[in-house]
Structure 1
Amino acid sequence: MDALSKIFEDIHLNKSEYIYLNLSGDWAFRYQEQGAIAAYIVLQGKIHLQLDDGQKRLIEAGDLVLIPSGQSHYGCSDQEKTLLEATDISTLFDEKRHKTIELGNTDLQENNCFIIAVRGHIDSIMARPLFNALPAFMHIHHITGSSAPEWLQTGLHFLAIEAHQIRPGRDKILDHLVSILMIQCVRDFITQLNDAGNWLNALTHPELSSALAAIHGQPEKAWTVESLAEQCCMSRSKFAGLFSQIIGETPLAYLQQHRLRLASQMLRQGQLSIQQIAHKVGYSSETAFSQTFKKQTTLTPTQYRQHHQS
């Protein structure tokens, strides 16, 4: 499995939910961060989106915007009207999923906007390296036009069909469609990258991608810098230098961080013993694993599991 595919498998993008927002007059909504990907497809009108860090985007009819990390944000009809009371839509994905939510003054025929809002659950800890490398907004213009990529037109066509029909297996299909949209957006972003030091470059690098695929595919293996270099058909020194330059840390430091993120995922899932987890992430003993885990998180594996299952 290639590195990008394995990374998306690791982050467990699943349980995609959506609501329709029918907005008119003066309106505003807020979305609270929930460790989930957020996306908006604007079918009519326009929306001013602003992240809590101040970044802003104007999203118009026919546009798709992804907020990969799902950080808190605010949407409104007019960014000048800052005193508008914002409706929190964060809980509506659970309470009103698949339904149409009316916001604003439905008697007014101005500032009309109709959008599909999507929430896709992920393992935010496993996704951290990916999200750190992605922009806060991923904005694709004119997705409904003939100039839009064919993959996007096809994906949205299926999304529209599945969203309007309650058929067996629909939830699973929606999960796959959201995953496809996310992966394709990341692919497109990588092709346009100008930052040579961005971690995402390594996923498509002709040599380094083999090392990442090996680390993510077999984290339990006793990898060394030499054995990882062999995966890339490179000398040890050239591999180590290139890896550190692009990834921003040494190969073994990256390997350790990935193992600990993977271990934290297994601990939260609660299905394996700590000894089993230690071996699955490449530690020869439970003691060595526990010491390393506590040094990184300040909690023992047992304490971490209890904290996240309480």
Structure 2
Amino acid sequence: MDALSKIFDDIHLNRSEYIYLKAKNNWAFQYHEHGAMIAYVVMQGQALLHINRERIQLESGDLILVPSGQNHCCTASASPVFQNALDIQPLFDEKHQKTIDLESDQYPQHEACMILAIRGHVDSIMAKPLFNALPDFLHIQHIMSSTAPEWLQIGLQFLAVEVNQIRPGRDKILDHLVSILFIECVRDYIAQLKDSKNWLNALTHAELSNALAAIHGQPEQPWTVEGLAEQCCMSRSKFANLFTQIIGEPPLAYLQQHRLRLASQHLRSSQLSIQQIAHRVGYSSETAFSQSFKRSYGLTPSQYRLQYQQTA
């Protein structure tokens, strides 16, 4: 399996949900939950997305993806009253697969707007390297036109059919469609990326991608710098320098952080013992694993698991 595919396996993008927002007049809504991928498709009208002091004009037929679900607000007006913005986070749970009427009596009046909002849950810890490498948003214009990428047109056609019908296997199909949407957006972004030192570039790098595929595909193996260099058919020194230059940290440091993120996922989502988790992520000693985990997370593996269970 290639590195990008394995990374999408690791982040566990699932439980896709959607709502339709039927907005009138000077409306505003906000979203502020991390650990979820959010996408908006403007079916009718116009909107402004406010994120990290940026304002993005959205037209009918546009799609905008907020990969990490970070705080943002969407409005009809350039001068919204933010304190009156509707929080749509709970609506996905309470009224998912329904149309929400979002009306305001505030002026100025605006044309009606229809937005399809899609949420896909992810493991935010496992997704951290991916989210750090992506921009705050990915904006694809005119997705309903004939000039839009074919994958997007087909995906949205399937999505439109599935969201309007209740058939067996529907939730699984939605999960797959949303996964394809996210992956293709990321692939398009990588194809246009000009920063050679972005982690995403390494996923498709002619030489380094094999090392990343090995780390993410077989983290339990006793990898050394020499062993990873062999995966890339490179000398040890050339591989180590190139990896550090593009990834931003040495190969074994990256390997250790990936192993610990994977361990945190096992602690949160499995009943495996600490020793089993240690071996599964490449530690021969439970003691060495526990010490390494505590240095990174500030808690022992047992304390981390207990804290998660108490707050879940």
Q: CA RMSD in A?
A: 1.4
> Would you say the 8 A contact 1:263–1:278 is kept in 2?
yes
Question: Which stretch shows the higher mean deviation, 255-264 or 269-278?
Answer: 269-278
Structure 1 partner of 2:61: 62
Correspondence 1:73 to 2:75: no
| Deviation readout 1:250-281 (Å, 9 max, x if unpaired) | 00000000000000000001321000000000
Mark the runs of 5 or more structure 2 residues left unpaired by the alignment. Answer: none
Instruction: Determine if contact 1:27/1:84 at 8 Å carries over to the other structure.
Output: no
- In the alignment, is residue 295 of structure 1 matched against residue 295 of structure 2? yes
Return the alpha-carbon distance in structure 2 between the equivalents of residues 278 and 120 of structure 1. 29
Provide the rounded CA distance (Å) in 2 between the counterparts of 1:17 and 1:208: 36
- How far off its partner does 1:110 sit? 3.3
1:103 aligns to 2:102 (yes or no): yes
Q: How many residues align?
A: 309
- Displacement of 1:83 after TM fit? 5.6
- Aligned-residue offset at 1:35: 1.2
Unpaired stretches in structure 1, ≥5 consecutive residues: none
**1:199, 1:110 → 2: CA distance?**
42
Offset at residue 84 of structure 1 (A): 6.3
| 2:165 corresponding residue in structure 1 | 165
**How far apart are the structure 2 equivalents of 1:206 and 1:83?**
47
Q: Which residue of 2 aligns with 1:179?
A: 179
How much has 1:111 moved relative to structure 2? 2.5
Identity %: 68
Q: After the TM superposition, which of the residue ranges 111-120 and 210-219 deviates more from structure 2?
A: 111-120
Taking the aligned partners of 1:271 and 1:2, their CA distance within structure 2 comes to 28
Quote the offset at 1:105 in angstroms.
4.3
Q: Residue 22 of structure 2 contacts residue 101 of structure 2 at CA under 8 Å; is this kept in 1?
A: yes
Question: TM-score when scaled to structure 2?
Answer: 0.97
Q: Structure 2: how far apart are the matches of 1:148 and 1:261?
A: 36
How is 1:11-90 mapped onto 2 (pairs within 5 angstroms)? Answer: 11-51=11-51, 53-82=52-81, 85-90=84-89
What CA distance in whole angstroms lies between the structure 2 residues aligned with 1:141 and 1:221? Answer: 44
Partner of 2:143: 143
After TM superposition, the structure 1 = structure 2 runs for residues 115-130 of structure 1, keeping only pairs within 5 Å, are: 115-130=115-130
Q: Normalising by structure 1, report the TM-score.
A: 0.97
- For residues 87-145 of structure 1, the C-alpha deviation after alignment (integer angstroms, 9 at most, x for no partner) is 11110000000000001149x98331101001100000000000000000100000000
Task: Answer yes or no: is the 8 Å Cα contact 1:28–1:84 preserved in 2.
Answer: no
Checking the alignment, whether the CA contact within 8 Å between 2:34 and 2:68 is kept in structure 1 is: no
